[in-house]
Amino acid sequence: MKFAELALFLEKLEKTPSRLSITEILSDLFKKSSSDEVNKTTYLVLGQLAPAYEGIVFNMADKMVIKAIAKSYGKENKDVVGLYKKLGDLGGVAEKLAYSVQRIADSQLTVSGVYDVLLEIANDSGEDSVERKVEKLAKLFSSLDSLSVRFVARIPLGKLRLGFSDKTVLDGISWMLKGDKSLKTKLEKAYQVLPDVGNLVKKVKMQGIEKATEGVKPIVGAPVLPMLAQRIKSPKEMIAKMGQVAVEPKFDGLRLQLHYSPTSLNPPVGRAGLRGTRVFTRNLSECSWMFPELAQIGDCVNGDEVILDCEAVGLDEETKQLANFQSTMTRRRKHEIGDTLKKVGITFFVFDILSLNGKNLMEETYLERRKVLERTLKEGKNFKIVKNELTLDPKKIDELYRKEFKAGYEGIIVKKANAPYVPGRTGWRWVKMKQGETEESKLADTIDAVVMGYNSGKGKRSGFGVGQFLVGVASGTKFVTTSKVGTGLTDEQFKQLNQKLKNLRTKEQPKEYEAHKNYTPDYWVEPSLVVEIAADEITKSPTHTAGLALRFPRLINFRDDKTPNEATTLKELRELFEMQRTS
């Protein structure tokens, strides 16, 4: 397929607010794409070059794309900047300039051709790579028609702005085959084990739905979507729904999936890391560079290759006490790892095993997986197996909850003893009990919300660039508002928030957002940043589009380890509302 034809599909997707219509457009696109090219087409419509866990990034800021546009169309940088200020979109700038110089309308470049050039740009590194990237991108612009340029200019910046994710692509695959979403469950099950929609749609086109989705098992080096906990406030209800359970302490750490294979795993191309080990956060980001301690994992594993689920928790080297989430997350500062190691060590508390020596353990029960885990992992300085206790007694659950909370943990995780490992938050297999932030709090848990926009602030906060920010929760493919937040932040966090949000600003309200006019912020931002919010309670709201509002909301953490797809859902918010009413 010529890229110019793909650009027409991209234009339709950009103009379409309806998820069903987007699904039908994707279905048509997949039908017209050849089997050997459909994976690349899929990545490009998502504005990427590979699944998220591959970590392929362009490392191109606005300034570099501006230089490429100016170079391609014979303009000065300042001219491009001036037009950018008017349009607010470098894709629109590139399209306008391409059209003004009557760039060829019949580009012969194929989807694969454009993809390959973009991949080459992303993988270029080292001395003078900035200049080479700009040169290659400018040359690519010169080979494309004006509409194609609009979308290609946005991809290196992560701003394709089409308003859908992998889940909608799964709908599109089902629609391609059946004309409805009846195959989505089967596709989702395969995707949860190997979250690569490009690979999945290619396999479906080449092999058919049954062969593409049956027998998918974990692969060392590719993360499985994590299993998540539901909420039940009553231990009695837990036992009624789950039967025999295992109770584990809940850590305030960073959820990680450890992949170990000394013979097959190398660090990601062009990036730091450890040979033999890959580490993924719950949003599928590879982060082995954060944990030099993993160099010792081979001494603790009985096996040739293994996939472990764990919580990385910081240990304050002075007090020898477990550190909080924010202290653990200081590991994300790449240039300060040496200093951070001296202040905050890491212990990996392992609680599950998904695969051993190529054998899929996800279908085994919790109790069977636990036996394998205890045979496989030898505890050491940095590796511990999470303690657990089996029970059928609601009183025992309550007793353990109080004991663990008193010991400094967040609460407990209660796990169904005979349940398999099922990615996502479905069924009553895992549930959590957490303490509210204050004595007055009626809310049983914190909320993971998406920042939708912000106001500049007045007085002292005007110097920070942020006064209040608007947050929402997920409702299907949309995000609905539930609160404005302006408390719980230190001066440093206000400044940090401004840095995070200014690169996400957009002139238009993203089409995924549903917001009442009363809550129109000074700046809308693309759905990207997830924050953990505590509140005293949830109340009904006639104006917030969630229909519910948070009373006295306050920021607890920036959740850089989560994506908007992992935000609290409206269904979960309603469940929390009902739980507080019955407490």
In this structure, the number of other CB atoms found within 10 A of the CB of residue 151 comes to: 27
Helix H or strand E segment including 326: helix 325-328
CA distance 425 to 405: 24
Beta bridge partners of 415: 246, 430
Q: Which residue has the tokens 């920036």?
A: 558
Contacts of 197 (CB under 8 A, 6+ apart): 42, 46, 51, 166, 169, 170, 173, 191
Nearest to residue 495, comparing CAs of 471, 524, 465, 533?
Answer: 465
- C-beta separation of 242 from 416 below 8 A: yes
Residue 250: active-site member: yes
Tokens 């294979």 belong to which residue? 261
> Which parts of 194-280 fold into alpha helices (H)?
197-207, 209-213, 235-242
Residue labelled with tokens 């299907």: 476
**CA–CA separation, 350 vs 379, rounded Å?**
10
**Strand, helix or coil for residue 84:** helix
DSSP summary character for residue 546: T
Output the CA–CA distances (angstroms, integers) from residue 43 to 116, 344, 368, 504, 544, in the order listed. 12, 38, 38, 21, 34
CB 345 within 8 A of CB 359: no
Label residue 517 exposed, middle or buried (CB < 10 Å: 0-12, 13-18, 19+): exposed
Cβ neighbourhood burial of 460 (10 Å; 0-12, 13-18, 19+): exposed
CB 291 within 8 Å of CB 312: yes
Residue 548 host element (H or E):
strand 548-551
CA 505-508-122 angle, to 5 degrees, is 50
**Contact assessment for residue 305 and residue 276, using Cβ atoms and an 8 Å cutoff:** no
Tokens of 514: 């549903």
Please identify which of the residues 67, 71, 250, 484 carries the catalytic annotation.
Answer: 250
- Residues 226, 280: Cα–Cα separation, whole Å: 10
Residue 220's CB: how many other CB atoms inside 10 A?
18
**Tokens at residue 197, please?**
């929609």
Contact 13, 46 (CB under 8 A): no
Active site amino acids: 250
